[in-house]
Amino acid sequence: MSHIRPALRTSLVHCLALFVVLALPAQRLAAQDLDDAEKKEAAIVIARADSARATLVQPPGSKGLTPATLVRAPFRAVGAGLALVAGAGYGVYRVLDKTGTIRFVKQTNRDLRANDIRVRLKTIGSRSGLALLGRWDGARPFFVEGGISMGSYSLARAGLAFGDTLNGVELAAGLRRQAQLHFWGIGNDSREEDVSDYEHAMREAAVRGHVRVLPHVRVGGGAGWEADRADRGNDAMAPDVQDVFAGALPFGAVGTHRFMRADANLDLDFTSVGGPFQLRGVRLVTDWSGFRGVDESDPDFQIASTDLRVYLPLNSRHAFALRGYAADAFGESNGDVPIYYLATAGGSEGLRGQKGYRLRDRAALIGMAEWRYQVWWHPGDPIYRVDAFAFVDHGAVGSSLGSIESTDFLTTPGIGIRFVSHGLTQVETFLAFGGDATPRIGFKLGASF
Amino acid sequence: MRPRGGGSWIIAWAVAALVAGIALTGCAARSFDPLPLRPEPIAYADTLLIPEPEERAERRKLRALLVHGPLQLAEPFDPGEGESLNLTHDDDVVSSAWWERRVGYRRITPEDLALGPTSAENAPATSGPLEIKSVKTDGVTPGFTMKDANGHTYIVKFDPPGLMHLTSAAGVIGNRLMWGMGFHVPEDYVTEFDFSRLVVDEDATIEELGVERPLTIEDLRTLLERTEPIEGERYLAFASLYLPGVPKGPFFFEGRRDDDPNDYFDHQHRRELRALWVFSSWINDTDMREGNTLDVYVKPGYLRHYLIDFGATMGSSSTRSKHRKDETERPIDLYRFIGRIATLGLYKQPWEDHPVEPLGPALGFMYGEGFDPDSWKSSWTNPAFQDMTDADSYWAAKILAAFTDEQIRGAVGAGGFSDHRSADTLTALLRLRRDRIVEYYYERVSTVEEPIVARQHAGSLQLSFKDLGIDQHVWTPGETTYDWRFRDPARRLGGSGSAQPRSMPEQMLDVSWTGSGGNGGGSDQLATLEITTRRPGFSPDPATVFLRWEGEGYRVVGIAHGDARK
């Protein structure tokens, strides 16, 4: 059925063109298959084709610069900029690949695993930067682990580990050094310009255990000895705590304290990942630690915290998530709570408009609320998706929970996106307002809560 | 020190510069004569001999940054490039190394369409050894390169487990239909074989944990565990014959290939590439992108441009069934992504509220009654698709309208479904989608074809033409009114009027004019007769019939459909 009228003249030029083609000797022109004589002949044939092509009279084949070209140009420029950045990254990758570095690293990792050594990239603590951590389990239950970070943080531990993540006991001794923790002062009215840093090194020997007593209930406990040393930090961009707060140095900001400590922990976890990979349920985690000074100059104190998280999906795409966090210190004698055991607010642990650890005091009270919604997903492949979240964080610190007034609270709203795999956040980034530097851009491996 | 408000000042100037630039570019943009005053493209002019070009790569990630992403972001503001350039005076396209006139142009039986580009001689041998040259180990489903007893080499793929026929049938049916629509495609087959026929080429290797080693028959057995046998150790496979020539990498949907002197028209201005959007929407080829095209240096020595791999057409998404989302939203749809973020998740698309209900394991899912040609999307932004005009889409719709129900059934029959119900369902879906597309794109232009001056007198003429909308029963004569406007600027004549169609295929329009008359005009001065086919509820852009005054009367010298700018 041909409702499309064949144009006579089109058929004529069609025939003419075919004649031009067929008049030329039909032979393969693949250069690699030809000897010198054949190459010469091919060049002649192609020259004849070029002559024939030059005689063809055709409509314009191009439009040159058009309004559409101009409209697209800025978007193409952005794309080209991104390509340049990506190209630089790819260039580095190619160099590593060409020099065999990637293959070497992969092979080394395989060899290490074959020898029960696991190597990971993580962090060791606040402001540690990326850390390289290794753990050897080759003579179970004995283990050794260690690591070092870009911020000169270090970790070294060894001991015996029995059981697994549900039921287990660990008897270990080790050292963790955090070289440049930031401190702004104590209380809600601490000033941004008082930023300073210190080093905290902790040596410990302890036994800790955990057991799942019911399907959703886990309890843990432990006891041990530890020595905490505070000293000058190594952040060249921030002055030292000992200099900024020389007149009123916080307790524990310099020198060494030794403690015997005991810990207890209760974890009621009624969360689950169900439906289209959605987190739902309630989780309550309560921690308590008691410290008794070893020497006369070392203080006694106790700290406790409770963390309640509620995940409420409204439908397959939207959910509310709430978090309440309270921490307090009590039972002090022979001194105060050291700087490194004070409760904190700020960063992705709570009050995201502020930097991590921005507020410190003996007690903290934080509320976080999130409206979570899916922005990219494929129902045919629901494992991976991108969620967005709008949040409001509300928090304050004080000398005790009872002393925190409603006027003390700082509110920092914001918005962010998360990459979610199997219902669990792998990485998130957000934009928060209301803190010292507005807006604050945050980035976190895993979810804030 | 920068004055206050410096940022907004710069933005204001940038916007003003952009607007001025667009205005100036609009003025400076190359303007073209009316269609009949331009030379016509020459059929097969791009099959002249050329030196063998270099092979080039798709560079998909780079193109995503340089082309696909930017064009998607520019989409809401993009005025488009306007009319195609490779058009005949009849608003048509000639055969070339890109596309050939098939369905709608010449007689093609359902049996022809069932065969498409294939032949019995080139089909995979049904006996004798099948020598495995290489294997594909990544991905959900296995794949081989295989040489049969006749010496033919094929790329072989398999259906996902539990979804027998899904990919293989889609691949072959899509291949036949795309061939019928006029594109160059490989010879694709559905074939069956027993595992016992497989032998491993002595040079074949497999990569395991980054280390290459010789391939073994046990490796093949392990690979085939990722698909499902028909029974025992008998397998169903999709086999694509190696193309006859030297592969030179994919073609792109904009610009030209520098090392191909035959590549005359910018690809984004080729009507057949623009209209590929419409063709792809019919067979639901959401994976239409550069990577699924191939330039091949064929004998006697020119580049032929192929479309390849139709495994993700119809209801198949290659490794799974398609979902409602697949044909209505791109995998990365930047504005919808931003829209969802900005509205706190309140913005949503219709597909979000409906669970996917595959039509069956062999068919997957594609829209039937719910199919909307306007909202169909391919997964990748495409410069040629972006520039498609109403005239381009109408041209494609005419070709689809020429596909008979029997031809569709013939193509579906090549898919090798083991049950009639799947074949019947898919045939019905394709018919439905064809009709939707035809109706949708016919609405956008005035469907006037084959105009001829039947009679003429002083001050009037009678124009004979076909109205495809009535001819193909999309609308009835009673629903249609013709509005016409005649202008001859050279002879200073003009006239306008309305008329009703006749209840027969050939329409007649009486056109009269007034004015000073005279023997003005010449080869570069044409009269135009604009005919608008007004239908219930809408009035499309007119078809423009070009007439030349030849001393004693007018003669039709060309026709254009729709507004050349959109």
Which one of B39, B51, B77 has the shortest CB-CB distance to A29?
B51
> What does the pLDDT look like over B98-134, one tens digit per residue?
999 999 999 999 999 999 999 999 999 999 999 999 9
Chain B's closest residue to A20, CA to CA, is: B48
Contact B85 A60 (CB under 8 A): yes
Contact A86 B86 (CB under 8 A): no
The interaxial angle of helices A101-114 and A67-98, nearest 10 deg, is 50
Tokens, residue B383: 């410069």
N- to C-terminal Cα separation, chain B:
47
Which residues of chain A does CATH 2.40.160.50 include? 224-233+249-445
Which one of B74, B321, B326 has the shortest CB-CB distance to A75?
B74
Quick one: pLDDT band at residue B29, thresholds 50, 70, 90?
A: low
pLDDT at B3: 39
> What does the pLDDT look like over B196-211, one tens digit per residue?
999 999 999 998 877 8
CB neighbours (10 Å) of residue B328?
19
- Sign of CA pseudo-dihedral B49, B53, B58, B59: negative
**Quick one: chain B helix, strand, coil %, rounded to 5?**
30, 25, 45
Contact A375 B345 (CB under 8 A): yes
Residue B101 Cα distances to A283, B184, B489, angstroms: 67, 11, 36
Task: Using CB atoms within 10 Å of the CB of residue B294, give its burial: 0 to 12 exposed, 13 to 18 middle, 19+ buried.
Answer: buried
Chain B's closest residue to A104, CA to CA, is: B210
pLDDT at B24: 55
pLDDT at B552: 86
A2-61 residues touching B, CB cutoff 8 A? 2-7, 9-11, 13-14, 16-18, 20-21, 24-31, 42, 45-46, 48-50, 52-53, 56-61
Which one of B44, B67, B246 has the shortest CB-CB distance to A30?
B246
N- to C-terminal Cα separation, chain A:
66
- Residue B399: list chain A partners with CB under 8 A: 4
> What does the pLDDT look like over A214-228, one tens digit per residue?
999 999 999 999 999
CB neighbours (10 Å) of residue A255?
12
Which one of A46, A66, A106 has the shortest CB-CB distance to B29?
A66
Residue A297 Cα distances to A203, A245, A252, A334, B324, angstroms: 18, 21, 11, 7, 71
Say how far apart CA B4 and CA A330 lie, in whole Å: 53
- Residue B352: list chain A partners with CB under 8 A: 317
Provide the 3-class DSSP secondary structure of residue B452: strand
Residue A210 has φ and ψ, to the nearest 5°, of -150, 150
Question: Which residue stretches of chain A have pLDDT < 50?
Answer: 1-31
Mean pLDDT of the B340-348 span? 93
Chain A's closest residue to B77, CA to CA, is: A71
Quick one: pLDDT band at residue B565, thresholds 50, 70, 90?
A: confident
CB neighbours (10 Å) of residue B98?
24
Chain B's closest residue to A85, CA to CA, is: B65
Amino acid letter, residue A33: D
Task: Using CB atoms within 10 Å of the CB of residue B511, give its burial: 0 to 12 exposed, 13 to 18 middle, 19+ buried.
Answer: buried
Quick one: pLDDT band at residue B6, thresholds 50, 70, 90?
A: very low
- Residue A27: list chain B partners with CB under 8 A: 299-301
Cα atoms found within 13 Å of the Cα of residue A235, Cβ hemisphere only: 21
Cα atoms found within 13 Å of the Cα of residue A58, Cβ hemisphere only: 25
pLDDT at A37: 79
Mutate: best of A2, A3, A90, A372, partner B, most B CBs <10 A: A3
Mutate: best of A63, A65, A107, partner B, most B CBs <10 A: A63
Chain B's closest residue to A380, CA to CA, is: B323
Q: How big is the CA angle at A166 (ends A163 and A168), to the nearest 5 degrees? A: 30
CB-based contacts of B515, cutoff 8 Å, min separation 6: B488, B491, B492, B493, B494
pLDDT at B43: 96
Say how far apart CA B436 and CA B376 lie, in whole Å: 12
> What does the pLDDT look like over B364-403, one tens digit per residue?
999 999 999 999 999 999 999 999 999 999 999 999 999 9
Contact A318 B352 (CB under 8 A): no
Would you say A308 and A286 are in contact if contact means Cβ atoms under 8 Å apart? no
Contact A9 B71 (CB under 8 A): no
CATH fold of A224-233+249-445 reads: Porin (2.40.160)
Contact B66 A75 (CB under 8 A): no
Residue B260 Cα distances to B52, B57, B97, B303, B305, angstroms: 9, 15, 12, 7, 12
Contact A10 B94 (CB under 8 A): yes
> What does the pLDDT look like over B264-299, one tens digit per residue?
999 999 999 999 999 999 999 999 999 999 999 999
CB neighbours (10 Å) of residue B29?
19
Contact A75 B88 (CB under 8 A): no
Contact B341 A380 (CB under 8 A): no
By residue count, chain B amounts to: 566
B492-531 residues touching A, CB cutoff 8 A? none
B145-164 residues touching A, CB cutoff 8 A? none
- Kindly report the average pLDDT of chain B as a whole number: 92
Nearest residue to A275 via CA among A313, A301, A332, A309: A313
Nearest residue to B214 via CA among B129, B131, B134: B134
For the cut 60, the answer to whether the pLDDT of residue B21 exceeds it is no
Contact B65 A83 (CB under 8 A): yes
Which one of B39, B48, B73 has the shortest CB-CB distance to A49?
B48
Chain B's closest residue to A32, CA to CA, is: B52
Quote the minimal CA–CA distance from B533 to chain A in Å.
18
Cα atoms found within 13 Å of the Cα of residue B279, Cβ hemisphere only: 28
By residue count, chain A amounts to: 449
Residue B496 has φ and ψ, to the nearest 5°, of -155, 165
Domains of chain B, first to last: 43-444 (no CATH), 448-561 (2.60.40.10)
Nearest residue to A317 via CA among A377, A390, A391: A377
